[in-house]
Amino acid sequence: EAQVTQNPRYLITVTGKKLTVTCSQNMNHEYMSWYRQDPGLGLRQIYYSMNVEVTDKGDVPEGYKVSRKEKRNFPLILESPSPNQTSLYFCASTIDRTYEQYFGPGTRLTVT
């Protein structure tokens, strides 16, 4: 089954404790991205990657890191989480940026 998986689905953590949210797709898509969704603000892109070892900043990259060592995986790293990073996070992949995006199920992160 074609899918994008994210882990964990829910996470409560404390300020400053490094965390990683994993994202994996099995569709051989070259383009992957991370979004955060906040009430009243819609989905905002954090980082994207057009291929292995190629990553770039989206609209709200501050406080986040990513890596793309393999085509299928695109982890999101929060080196020192802060409460303003409490949000719903989605990973997405697509064959091309102008085509349909396939989203993972989301990760609800709470930073206290």
By beta-carbon proximity to other proteins, the closer residue of 74 and 90 is 90
Write phi, then psi, for 103 (nearest 5 degrees). Answer: -100, 145
Residues that bind other proteins (CB under 8 A): 33, 35, 37, 40-45, 58, 88, 90, 97-98, 100-101, 103-106
Shortest distance (Å) from residue 32 CB to other proteins: 12
C-alpha–C-alpha distance, residues 23 and 30, integer Å = 14
Q: How far is the CB of 42 from other proteins (least distance, A)?
A: 4
Q: Single out the residue of 112, 91, 86, 110 nearest to residue 22, CA to CA.
A: 91
Tokens of residue 41, six digits? 């603000």
Least Cβ distance, residue 83 to other proteins (angstroms) = 19
